[in-house]
C-alpha cells in the first residue's frame, strides 16, 4: 500500500505545478516533513489542492516562500477542523434572509461548510482551480474577488473570497504553532520579531530591529518553533 | 422552579471596571455586595502572560477574550426601512467576557471630557444659536466638569495614568493638552516614550501652530502603587495591547487595579457564570426587588437585593432594562419614550502614512495608548461658525497594534494580493504609521436601540436591535477633521505616500463588519429631565429609585474621546452619591 502523503497530493497539481509543496533543501528540518504522512484533519484531497492553488496565487513564491511553502494548507486544514471552522463563535440561528453588505455574514453555514460547498460548486461549474495554469488561476481569483463567480444563490462570491484571503494571510503570518508561517516565513519577510516581545530600550531608535523572529513555542538556538503540535499529539 | 437566595444589600450585574469599582467602594462602606458575572475567572498573571498571550490569531483574529455571538449578540440595520439581521460574527465593536470585562482588552487611552462637552446643548446654543443643533437630540449631561473632576482625577490615580497635564487649576502647562479642563493635580506618572514616527508628527503639528502632546496612557510608565494598594509595572511596549490582556501588570485593568485588592473582603462575593435574565420589579411601582439569573448548572436563581446596580457593557445594560421593562421604550415614530434613545457611536477616519526607507517605525513596538495627539479640532476647541457641523475629534499618530496579520499597510494603488502586493508589504511594513481622527458622534432621532421581533438568544429572550447610520452632521465633521489630519501628514518629514480612509464617508452606510471601535454609547442616558433621560444626573433610575445604571449607555451623545475615562468618572460620581446620600436614606435623589 502506498502511504498517504500530503506532499504527493499537492504535487498532483496540474501543469503550473506549485513551487510550492516541496520545501527546499535549506529547510531540511521543516515540520512539514513530520506531518506529511498525516491524513488531512478536515480537507479532502481536492479541497487541499484548491487551497494550495488559491494560496499560491494570492501569495506566490519569490525570494520569500509561497503560501503553500509556508504551510498555509496545513494551517487551513487545522483551522477548518477546529472551533473557527465549526462556527463556534458564529450566531447561526435562522431564519437567514438576505442582508445588505453592511449587515455582514448572513450565510447559514459555518466556515467549514462554506468552503466545502463553495469549492464543490465552483468545481461543478468549470475546471477546478488546481487544474488551471497560472494565468487561469489569476483570472479565477480576480473574478472571485470581484464577485463575478457564480457559486449559487446563497454564497456570495465576495464572501467566499474574503474568507479565503483572510485564512491565507492568517496562515502566512500567524504563530507557527498553528501549522503555517513555517520557519517564520511570514515574519522574516516583514521583519516581525514575534511573541517574545520586550522593547523598552528600542522605542525611540530609528533603525531596523536586529532580532530574529521567535514564536510562542520557539526552540532556543534554532530558527524554528517546537515541532508541529498536531504531530506531537499523535493520531 | 426558581431558587430564592437570602437578600443582599447590593447586587451588581457585571464584573468589569464599573462593577468592581462599585463593589470595592460599597463593600468598604459596609454594604454586602454580590457581583454577578456572566463569564469566568481569569487573571493577568495566569491567563495573560507572554509569550502565550502574544498570539495574534487566537486573540486579535478569533477574539478569544471577547463575547461569543452565540452567547450574546444583537441585530442590526442602517435604518427603519430595513429588516435588522443578527450580528452573526463580531466586527465593528468587541464587547468583552469574563472577569474584568472589556476592561482587560482596552488600549488604555484615558481621556476626560471637555467642560463644554458636558453642557453640549447649552454651550452650542449660547455660542452659535440653537439652530446649529437642528435635527439632533443632543443634550446636556446634567453633571458639570467641576462636579466630575475629583472623580476623573481619582480614576487617573487608580490607573496610574501617564501623561503631561495641560491645565492644572487653570494654569496652562507646557507640553500638555492646553484645551483640557482644569485638573486638580498632574498625572500620577510621566508620559510614554516617543518613537520616530510620533516625533515627526509632533514636529509637523507644532510647526503648523497646533498643540501636540503625548496621549494620556493607562499603560503605566514606571512602578506605581494605586490608592487601593495595587502594584503596577512599567510598560514594555510589547505591541500586544488592544484585544489582549496584559501579563506585564503594565496596562491598568479592573482585575489588578481593583479585584485583587477587594477579593478577600467580607462584604464581597463574586459569582461566575451567572447570566442575568431580568431585574424584578416590586409591586410598589417605584422599586425593584432584585435580579433573576441562570447559574452554571442552568438553574434559575432569584437574588433579592435592596439596591440593583447595572454594570454590564453599555449595550447589554440597555438590553437588560428593555427585557425587564425598566422605563418606557423609545419610539422613533413619535419621539416618545426614553429607553433605547440617543444611541451613538464613534466616527473614525484615518490617514495612512508611508515613510521613506530611512524612517523606521518598527510598528510591532507599540502600546495601546502610545500616541502623539492634537486636540485643536476636538469638541468646541475651534470655531464652528459656517462649518455646517458640531463636534470634532482628536487627531493622533498612534503606534499601537502593528502585528502582521491585521497590520498590512501598502502604498495606494497596490493590488490587494499577488506578487506586487507581497513585495509592497515587505517594503512598507516597518516604515508606516497610522493617524486616526477619533471623531464624536451626535445623537439623532433615528439612531436607537430596541428589541428584535424575530431573533432570540439561548434563553428565549429577544435580541437587542440596533438601528444606526452616521448622521450627516458627523459625516461632515469627519471629512473636515480628516482634511486637517492630512495637512499634518503632508508636513511630516520623510513621507513617501499618504492615503486616507473614512468610515463615515459620504454615501457609505455604517457597516457592522470592519472593526471601528468598541465605543457604543447611549440608550439609557442621564439627564435632569425624565422626558429625555432614563436616569437622573446621579445615574439613578427615574422610575425605580433603587436601580443605578453605569457605563457609556449614560452618555447623551458621544464625545470625541475614548469613553473609559468619562464613564469611570461618572461611576465614582454615582458611587459617591449612593454612599453619601442614597444609602442612608433610600429615595429618589431628584424630583421627576
Q: Find chain B residues with C-beta within 8 A of A203's C-beta.
A: 193-195, 237, 365
Cα separation, A109 vs A112, whole angstroms: 8
What residues of B are labeled active site?
519
Cell numbers given for A184 = 517564520
Using a CB-CB distance cutoff of 8 angstroms, which residues of chain A are in contact with residue B235?
Answer: 200
Q: Domains for chain B: give ranges and CATH numbers.
A: 2-582 (3.50.50.60)
Q: Report residue A10 as a C-alpha cell.
A: 499537492
> Residue A221 CB: number of other CB atoms within 10 A?
5
Mean of pLDDT over chain B = 98
Cα–Cα–Cα angle for A191, A193, A195, nearest 5°?
Answer: 145
Residue-level pLDDT at A227: 60
CA-based nearest residue in chain A for residue B83? A99
Cis peptide before B220 (omega within 30 of 0): no
Residue A23, pLDDT > 70, answer no
In a domain, A155, yes or no: yes
Question: Does pLDDT of B592 surpass 90?
Answer: no
Helical spans, DSSP H, in A146-208: 157-173, 185-190
Is the distance from CB of B382 to CB of B392 less than 8 angstroms?
yes
State yes or no: pLDDT of B300 exceeds 80. yes
Peptide bond into A94 cis (omega under 30): no
pLDDT band at A225 (very low <50, low <70, confident <90, very high): confident
Query: Cβ separation of B68 and A89 shorter than 8 Å?
Result: yes
- In this prediction, residue A156 carries a pLDDT of 85
Residues 6+ apart with CB under 8 A from A125: A150
| Cβ-nearest to B419 among A62, A99, A197 | A62
Cβ contacts from A onto B, under 8 A? 180
Query: Could you identify the residue written with the cell 502632546?
Result: B213
Q: Is the pLDDT of residue A8 over 50?
A: yes
Measure in Å the smallest separation between the Cα of A104 and chain B Cα atoms: 5
Distance from CA of A172 to the nearest CA of B (A): 8
User: Torsions phi, psi of B290, nearest 5?
Assistant: 150, -160
Please state the rounded mean pLDDT for residues A142-151: 92
Confidence tier at A219 by pLDDT (50, 70, 90)? confident
Residue A47 belongs to some domain of the structure: yes
Per-residue pLDDT tens for B413-456? 999 999 999 999 999 999 999 999 999 999 999 999 999 999 99
Residue A14 in this model has a pLDDT that exceeds 90: no
Of A103, A192, A199, nearest to B238 by CB-CB distance is A199
- Using the predicted structure, report yes or no on whether residue A21 has a pLDDT greater than 60: no
In a domain? residue A1? no
Q: Measured between CB atoms, does B89 come within 8 Å of chain A?
A: yes
Closest Cα partner for B37 from B241, B287, B313? B313
Q: In the prediction, which pLDDT does B263 show?
A: 97
| Structural domain includes residue A53 | yes
Supply the pLDDT for residue A29: 39
* ipTM of this complex prediction, to 2 decimal places: 0.96
Q: Which residues in chain A are contacts of B423 at CB distance < 8 A?
A: 62
A206 → chain B, closest CA residue: B360
The pLDDT value given to residue A26: 38
- Containing structural domain, residue A229: 6-233
The grid cell for B590 is 431628584
Task: Determine the Cα–Cα distance for residues B154 and B163; give it in Å rounded to an integer.
Answer: 15
pLDDT of residue A221: 80
Mutate to test the interface with B, among A62, A102, A186 (most CBs of B within 10 A): A102
CB-nearest partner of A104 from B87, B358, B362? B87
A112 is a domain residue: yes
Residues B504-515 pLDDT 10s: 999 999 999 999
Give yes or no for residue B233 having a pLDDT over 50.
yes
B54 touches chain A (CB under 8 A): yes
Overall average pLDDT of the B295-317 stretch: 98
The arithmetic mean of pLDDT across residues A113-138, rounded, is 92
**What's the grid cell of residue B556?**
447623551
A36-72 per-position pLDDT tens digit:
778 999 999 999 999 999 999 999 999 999 999 999 9
- Model pLDDT, residue A125: 77
Q: Please count the structural domains in chain A.
A: 1
pLDDT-derived band of residue A7, with 50, 70 and 90 as boundaries?
A: confident
CA distances from residue B156 to B112, B220, B238, B563 in whole angstroms, order as listed: 10, 11, 22, 14
pLDDT of residue A33 exceeding 60, the answer is no
Query: What is the pLDDT, as a whole number, of residue B462?
Result: 98
CB-CB under 8 Å, B76 with A103: yes
Geometric angle at alpha carbon B333, from B530 and B346, rounded to 5°: 70
Q: What is the DSSP string of B561-580?
A: S-SHHHHHHHHHHHHHHIII
What is the share, in percent, of chain B residues with pLDDT greater than 90? 99
**Angle (CA) B579 B283 B326, round 5°:** 65
Q: What cell numbers appear for B322 in the block?
A: 428593555
pLDDT above 90 (res B96): yes
Helices and strands per DSSP (H, E), number in chain B = 12, 22
pLDDT level of residue B23 (50, 70, 90 thresholds): very high
Tens digits of residue pLDDT in B472-500: 999 999 999 999 999 999 999 999 999 99
**CA distances for B583 relative to B26, B105, B526, B547, B588, angstroms:** 10, 33, 20, 12, 11
3-state secondary structure B14-76: CCCHHHHHHHHHHHHCCCCEEEECCCCCCCHHHHCCCCCCCCHHHHHHCCCCECCCCCCCEEE
Closest among A155, A146, A133, A115 to A57, alpha carbons compared: A133
Residues B272, B296: Cα–Cα separation, whole Å: 8
Question: What is the Cα–Cα distance from B238 to B400, expressed in whole angstroms?
Answer: 9
Residues 6+ apart with CB under 8 A from B212: B201, B202, B205, B206, B372, B373, B374
Amino acid at each position: 500500500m502506498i502511504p498517504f502523503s500530503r506532499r504527493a497530493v499537492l504535487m498532483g497539481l496540474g501543469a503550473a505545478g506549485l513551487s510550492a509543496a516541496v520545501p527546499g533543501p535549506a529547510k531540511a528540518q521543516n515540520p512539514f516533513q513530520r506531518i506529511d504522512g498525516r491524513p488531512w484533519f478536515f480537507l479532502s484531497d481536492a479541497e487541499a489542492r484548491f487551497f494550495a492553488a488559491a494560496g499560491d496565487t494570492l501569495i506566490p513564491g519569490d525570494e520569500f516562500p509561497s503560501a503553500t511553502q509556508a504551510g498555509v494548507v496545513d494551517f487551513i486544514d487545522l483551522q477548518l477542523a477546529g472551533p473557527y471552522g465549526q462556527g463556534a463563535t458564529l450566531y447561526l440561528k435562522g431564519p437567514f434572509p438576505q442582508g445588505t453588505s453592511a449587515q455582514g455574514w448572513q450565510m447559514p453555514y459555518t466556515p467549514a461548510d462554506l468552503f466545502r460547498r463553495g469549492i464543490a460548486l465552483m468545481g461543478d461549474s468549470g475546471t477546478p482551480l488546481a487544474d488551471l495554469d497560472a494565468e487561469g488561476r489569476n483570472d479565477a481569483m480576480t473574478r472571485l474577488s470581484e464577485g463575478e463567480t457564480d457559486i449559487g444563490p446563497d454564497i456570495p462570491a465576495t464572501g467566499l473570497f474574503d474568507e479565503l484571503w483572510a485564512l491565507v494571510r492568517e496562515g502566512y503570518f500567524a504563530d507557527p504553532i498553528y501549522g503555517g508561517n513555517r520557519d517564520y516565513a511570514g515574519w522574516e519577510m516583514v521583519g516581525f520579531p514575534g511573541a517574545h516581545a520586550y522593547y523598552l530600550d528600542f522605542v525611540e531608535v530609528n533603525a531596523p530591529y536586529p532580532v530574529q523572529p521567535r514564536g510562542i513555542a520557539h526552540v532556543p538556538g534554532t530558527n524554528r518553533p517546537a515541532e508541529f503540535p498536531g504531530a506531537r499529539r499523535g493520531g | 422552579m426558581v431558587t430564592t437566595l437570602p437578600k443582599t444589600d447590593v447586587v451588581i450585574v457585571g464584573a468589569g471596571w464599573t462593577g468592581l469599582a462599585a463593589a470595592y467602594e460599597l463593600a468598604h462602606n459596609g454594604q454586602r455586595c454580590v457581583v454577578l458575572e456572566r463569564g469566568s475567572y481569569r487573571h493577568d498573571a495566569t491567563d495573560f502572560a507572554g509569550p502565550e498571550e502574544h498570539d495574534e490569531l487566537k486573540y486579535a483574529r478569533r477574539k478569544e477574550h471577547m463575547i461569543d455571538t452565540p452567547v450574546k449578540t444583537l441585530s442590526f440595520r442602517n435604518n427603519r426601512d430595513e429588516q435588522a439581521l443578527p450580528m452573526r460574527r463580531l466586527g465593528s465593536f468587541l464587547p468583552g467576557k469574563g472577569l474584568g470585562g472589556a476592561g482587560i482588552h482596552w488600549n488604555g487611552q484615558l481621556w476626560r471630557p471637555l467642560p463644554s462637552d458636558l453642557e453640549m446643548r447649552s454651550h452650542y446654543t449660547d455660542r452659535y444659536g440653537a439652530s446649529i443643533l437642528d435635527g439632533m437630540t443632543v443634550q446636556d449631561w446634567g453633571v458639570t466638569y467641576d462636579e466630575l473632576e475629583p472623580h476623573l482625577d481619582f480614576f487617573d490615580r487608580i490607573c496610574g495614568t501617564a501623561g503631561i497635564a495641560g491645565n492644572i487649576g487653570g494654569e496652562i502647562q507646557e507640553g500638555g493638552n492646553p484645551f483640557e479642563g482644569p485638573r486638580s493635580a498632574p498625572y500620577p506618572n510621566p508620559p510614554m516614550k516617543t518613537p520616530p514616527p510620533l516625533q515627526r508628527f509632533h514636529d509637523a503639528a507644532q510647526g503648523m501652530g497646533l498643540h501636540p502632546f503625548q496621549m494620556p496612557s493607562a499603560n503605566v510608565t514606571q512602578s506605581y502603587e494605586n490608592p487601593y494598594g495595587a502594584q503596577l509595572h512599567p510598560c514594555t511596549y510589547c505591541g500586544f495591547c488592544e484585544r489582549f490582556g496584559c501579563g506585564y501588570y503594565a496596562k491598568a485593568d479592573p482585575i489588578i487595579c481593583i479585584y485583587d485588592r477587594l477579593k478577600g473582603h467580607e462584604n464581597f462575593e463574586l459569582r461566575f457564570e451567572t447570566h442575568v435574565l431580568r431585574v424584578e420589579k416590586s409591586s410598589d411601582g417605584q422599586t425593584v426587588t432584585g435580579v433573576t439569573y441562570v447559574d452554571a448548572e442552568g438553574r434559575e436563581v432569584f437574588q433579592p437585593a435592596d439596591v440593583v446596580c447595572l454594570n454590564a457593557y453599555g449595550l447589554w445594560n440597555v438590553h437588560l432594562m428593555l427585557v425587564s421593562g425598566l422605563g418606557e421604550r423609545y419610539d422613533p415614530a413619535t419621539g416618545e419614550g426614553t429607553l433605547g434613545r440617543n444611541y451613538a457611536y464613534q466616527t473614525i477616519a484615518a490617514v495612512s502614512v508611508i515613510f521613506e526607507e530611512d524612517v523606521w517605525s518598527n510598528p510591532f513596538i507599540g502600546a495601546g495608548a502610545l500616541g502623539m495627539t492634537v486636540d485643536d479640532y476636538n469638541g468646541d476647541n475651534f470655531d464652528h461658525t459656517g462649518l455646517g457641523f458640531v463636534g470634532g475629534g482628536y487627531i493622533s499618530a498612534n503606534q499601537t497594534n502593528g502585528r502582521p496579520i491585521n497590520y498590512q499597510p501598502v502604498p495606494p494603488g497596490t493590488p490587494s494580493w499577488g506578487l506586487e502586493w507581497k513585495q509592497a508589504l515587505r517594503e512598507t511594513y516597518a516604515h508606516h504609521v497610522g493617524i486616526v481622527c477619533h471623531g464624536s458622534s451626535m445623537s439623532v432621532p433615528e439612531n436607537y436601540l430596541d428589541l428584535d421581533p424575530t431573533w432570540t438568544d439561548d434563553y428565549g429572550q429577544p435580541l437587542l436591535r440596533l438601528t444606526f447610520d452616521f448622521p450627516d452632521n458627523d459625516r461632515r465633521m469627519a471629512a473636515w477633521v480628516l482634511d486637517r489630519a492630512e495637512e499634518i501628514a503632508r508636513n511630516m518629514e520623510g513621507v513617501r505616500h499618504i492615503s486616507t480612509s473614512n468610515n463615515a464617508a459620504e454615501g457609505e452606510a455604517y457597516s457592522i463588519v470592519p472593526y471601528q471601535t468598541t465605543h457604543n454609547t447611549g440608550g439609557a442616558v442621564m439627564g435632569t429631565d425624565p422626558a429625555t433621560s432614563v436616569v437622573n444626573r446621579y445615574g439613578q433610575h427615574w422610575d425605580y429609585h433603587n436601580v443605578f445604571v453605569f457605563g457609556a449607555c449614560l452618555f447623551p451623545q458621544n464625545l470625541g474621546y475614548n469613553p473609559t475615562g468619562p464613564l469611570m468618572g461618572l461611576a465614582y460620581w454615582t458611587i459617591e452619591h449612593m454612599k453619601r446620600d442614597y444609602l442612608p436614606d433610600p429615595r429618589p435623589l431628584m424630583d421627576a
